[in-house]
Amino acid sequence: MMLRPFRKLILSGVRRHCCRPFSVSQNCWDARKGLVLGVYEKEKEDDSVHFTEAAENFDRALSGKLRELLTISGPALKKGKSRIFYGVHKEFSNVVLVGLGKNSADVCDKECWDNRKENIRAAVSAGCRLLQDLEVPDVEVDPCGDAQSAAEGAVLGLFEYDEFKQKKKKAVKTKLHGSSEAGAWEKGVLYGEGQNLARCLMEAPANHVTPTFFANTIEQRLAPFSDKVTVHKRPQSWIEEQQMGAFLSVSKGSEEPPVFLELHYNGSPDSSQPPLVLVGKGITFDSGGISLKPSSGMDAMRADMGGAATVCSSIVTAAALKLPVNIIGLAPLCENMPSGKANKPGDVVRAKNGKTIQVDNTDAEGRLILADALCYAHSFNPKAIVNAATLTGAMDVALGSAATGVFTNSDWLWSQLHKASIITGDRVWRMPLFQHYTRQVTDSQLADLNNIGKYSRSGGACTAAAFLREFVTAPHWAHLDIAGVMSNKDEVPYLRKGMSGRPTRTLVEFAAGLCDES
């Protein structure tokens, strides 16, 4: 009974303190500018509040009022939580303090990521969203000791797909508080915007993002870099000339024409440098074909082009960053629809390399279009081939949304991808490529290969990878099954619910790592 008036007294004191430092004019309130500052958790129980450098400087300018307000406003600020104060500064109408966890946080081998970077992304995201909900249009962000991670948290956390809604989220402009880490901040903005491009493409309805629309969108986004980038939108006639029978067999069930999107980013000063080839599955809608999917949840199959979205977005980002590396992006784009022309279970089709495939399940279509794209990828004498695809529900069952499954024939390539994922926090996990699985896809009654393997329910992600391996001769190849990370509910705190755009930032960081090796 005694706690209520006591709490009322404290909150009243907070309000009085908020107004004391400055006499705030009406014009200042109209400006509506926010500031996000970081606070670390106490390492010991008797420690005092530990601000970031920017927050400490800000508090010093207020003669310690911010520290005082934080102390009396409630319990210690926990990791990822936020607290807002009004009117404490003449320039900022709203000041948000965000919990960064312990200052000693570092790379965690068990979690396979950098806890410090992840804490910053989550905290900054929470602070920016709070200000967005209050419709604060301009926000400055504390670098929190890692401006790139802070920028990623701000850009990723504020994204919400509302293209077709009349009522949209308030637009928020974010910028770095201070200028000492401007370069790292801009890099983080580009990383975040790259992933948001993939999220936008994946989230958009399939009647808008057709193969042609997808290709045109990427071409437009790459237009500012035309001195370094060449875009080829290959039509069906070209696909037929290339004898990509597996790809064509999937696309023929739809009224939408297929497109084979080919991107060339020439960032290396050495034009003879072997390129990194990125291949993305581009099924802009997957009904399952004749092997029709259940209607429940089928709407999410608008994002079955997530592989193409992440690959193409990573190339857009690499171009914006001016990475000194050569990258080729390949995206076979089509719909998988049921019709009188569609693949039928039991059909046999011929891939670009001459191998025949018995199509026992038309819903295992991603591996068919990737088979031809992987064959074509070899024509560029690549340094490495990495393909990304929302390939199997079995991958989601195996790893959920914790990490992208990686199947690779190269220890070097695995090491590079794993190292990149630790930095981005968008993790990868290595999966097996045993001959055990190869035997299951090569044991086919009518053709060289079967598209679902001998035991369709057992090791589905592994047999799909084994199938793709039949179209690879390159010594450095990796298949990223991103089905489990396709969408986000609440698992990644700095991403809102919806399509995730993962692992775009990991692909960009991986490409950047290759620059260091050159």
Q: Which residues are catalytic?
A: 293, 367
Q: At residue 449, what is the residue type? A: L
Q: For residues 361 and 68, give the distance between their C-alpha atoms in angstroms, rounded to a whole number.
A: 65
Give the H/E segment covering residue 62.
none
Q: Please identify which residue in the block is written with the tokens 């400490």.
A: 56
Three-class SS state of 369: helix
Q: For residues 119 and 113, give the distance between their C-alpha atoms in angstroms, rounded to a whole number.
A: 11
3: left (phi over 0), alpha (psi -120 to 50) or beta: alpha
CA distances from 412 to 114, 384, 478, 505 (A): 21, 10, 11, 20
Name the token pair of 466. Answer: 């084994």
Q: Kindly provide the b/e burial profile for residues 214-252, where b requires at least 16 CB atoms within 10 angstroms of the residue's own CB.
A: bbebbbebbeebeebbebebbebeebeebbbbbbbbbbe
Decide if 428 contacts 439 (C-beta within 8 A). Answer: no
Preceding amide of 235 cis, omega within 30? no
Other beta carbons within 10 Å of 457: 8
- Which of these, 159, 150, 154, lies nearest to 55 by C-alpha position? 150
